Structure 1
Amino acid sequence: MTDLKTAPSRRVKVWDLPTRLFHWLLVIGIFAMWFTADVLDRLSLHMAIGYALIGLIVFRLIWGFIGSDTARFRHFIRGPGHIISYLRKSDDSVALGHNPLGALSVVTLLLVIMVQLGTGLFANDQIYSEGPFSDYVSERTQDLLTYIHEVNFYILLGLIGLHLAAIAFYQFKKHEPLVRAMITGQRELKSGERVQNPNVRFAGLIAFVIALLLAVGAWPVGWGCISLMQVKPAMRPTLVS
């Protein structure tokens, strides 16, 4: 990473392709999980998409250590002091990638999504469906994790709302098109902005392939368990004539 410097107005590379693909696939996946469960009532499809999201999260965790600079956790995860300094505007450098508040949002969203996916593996509504590992815990634990799974979804919705509000604020108030940057991977710097140039690279084909294979490795576990997650015929409610 290079030293701070004053940059003329120009475009710089901020996000690598794997990070951008992860972001948009995660957006699609979360929407698809809600749609398949609450609109289509297709729980088997809902669970299959959940497995795909687990693979995505595994990939992101790995990419957070071997990916490009702006994708690595050490690049944007900072202590409370950095957040306070950012809020006080005592640090006048421009954060390429996630600023301290954005980093806090990203970490919180990832943790909440992980809780949602993890509790779903043990959830059991006692009527139609159950997670693949629900039999390994007590009924009381199943009920607790099912409750957390349901409540946590609303927490996730709230965080998504805050995330979208922040994007709108930066778009219309600060004139920083964050969505475009996540699509193109580039950000336009204003004249005179002090920046810390990241090394935004592909992180090497080998590193990408390793991360991808490890993430895809989560799929056989999920697909192997999917039969356990089907609706049990004996548990279906019947109509009394």
Structure 2
Amino acid sequence: MKTKTWSLTTRISHWLLAIGFTVAYITGENEWQMNYHYAFGALVGGILFFRILYGIIGPKYSNFEDFPMGISKQIDFIKNYFSKNQTYVGHNPLASLVMFSMMFLGIFTAFTGYLWATESAHFLGFTFTEEMVEEGHEIGAKLFLILVFAHLAGIFADTIFHRKTGTLGSIFTGYKNVQADASKTNAFHKIFSIIWLGVPMILFYLAFGLPVNERGNERENEEEDEWESLLYPDKNSEKSPMNLIVKLTKNRSNVDGTSLASSSRQTETNTTVNTESNSIQSYAQNSQYYTENSNDEREYYEHEEHSKHHHIKREHHDYDEDDD
């Protein structure tokens, strides 16, 4: 026997929530995709806000009164999880806790994203700093992603161990293979469903037109500006990979050339100084050498002259003795 569990609006909002969070999370890192991030983030926040209201005024199985989130319910669910007799028409205890947490955490993440996008620092008398808003938004998005994986893991486990219940199929058809009271919607629920789906679409459209807040990319932009100022002094220069390579090569060549030229000039200066010093030293040594040689030669010639004169005088004396 099949029992109607989820209304059409609940199923549509479920899949819009899944698509919205996936796209918002993927597009949150690139500046050129930030408008999509704003739009899908607003869509998620709007859907979750009305889902909380639906949990208060909604029909059976969607109402929070049907969420078994107590500690005793959690313990009993874990102990008897593999029992074939344990069935839940709506959410099981762990799924109820995960879904309830996703609703409020998703709204918190969307709200901090709105404050960050609009650069709003004040809300209901509270003042928020830029760091508080940005960190809160990032932490909320990461925690929400963890809850999404927990939700998927629960569906996977339920499909394996409680296949007959048809939990996975109920997300598409709205029916589970259990015997219980069906979920019934009245006129008020139907009117609320139109608002539930319409308002998030309006928020989606309005958020897409928000101006892109570049504060999250200030550090990256500053680094890019520093590189561009170094590589492109002329703002009209063409920016291409080849120009980057050429400019980097030229800068490297200029640096190396300057270093080589400086080293060459220093070497030439040192060589000139050393050459002049060697020349002066060599000249002094040569002058001393020539002076010493000149003195020796003069002494030698004087000695020769003296010896020659003495020899002539001696010969003359001998000649006089022979005449006698």
**Counterpart of 1:230?**
212
Percent identity between the two aligned chains: 21
Three-state SS of the structure 2 residue aligned to 1:37 is: coil
**Counterpart of 2:67?**
76
Higher relative contact order (CA 8 A, sep 6+): 1
State the one-letter code of the partner of 1:69.
K
* Structure with the higher fraction of residues in helix conformation: 2
- The alpha-carbon distance between structure 1 residues 119 and 155, as it changes in their structure 2 partners (threshold 3 A), is same
Length-normalised TM-score, structure 2: 0.58
Do structure 1's residue 187 and structure 2's residue 170 form an aligned pair?
no
2:195 to 209, 213, 218: 213
1:149 to 128, 137, 141: 137
| Structure 1 unaligned blocks of 5 or more | 1-9, 124-130, 190-194
Q: How many residues align?
A: 217
Three-state SS of the structure 1 residue aligned to 2:27 is: helix
- The alpha-carbon distance between structure 1 residues 157 and 54, as it changes in their structure 2 partners (threshold 3 A), is closer
Give the whole-Å Cα distance in 2 for the aligned partners of 1:170 and 1:39: 37
**How far is the alpha carbon of 1:47 from its aligned partner?**
0.5
Three-state SS of the structure 1 residue aligned to 2:115 is: coil
Length-normalised TM-score, structure 1: 0.75
Are 2:55 and 2:63, in contact at CA under 8 Å, matched by a contact in 1? yes
| Structure 2 unaligned blocks of 5 or more | 233-324
- The alpha-carbon distance between structure 1 residues 24 and 115, as it changes in their structure 2 partners (threshold 3 A), is same
Equivalent residues in 2 for 1:1-241, closer than 5 Å: 10-38=1-29, 41-89=32-80, 94-123=87-116, 131-136=117-122, 141-175=129-163, 176-189=165-178, 197-201=180-184, 203-213=185-195, 216-217=198-199, 229-231=211-213, 238=225, 239-240=228-229, 241=232
State the one-letter code of the partner of 2:56.
F
Are 1:132 and 1:226, in contact at CA under 8 Å, matched by a contact in 2? no
Are 1:67 and 1:207, in contact at CA under 8 Å, matched by a contact in 2? yes
- The alpha-carbon distance between structure 1 residues 25 and 140, as it changes in their structure 2 partners (threshold 3 A), is closer
CA RMSD of aligned residues (A): 3.2
Give the whole-Å Cα distance in 2 for the aligned partners of 1:220 and 1:26: 15
Three-state SS of the structure 1 residue aligned to 2:6 is: coil
**How far is the alpha carbon of 1:207 from its aligned partner?**
2.7
Q: Which has the larger radius of gyration?
A: 2
Moved more, 69-78 or 170-179: 170-179
* Structure with the higher fraction of residues in strand conformation: 1
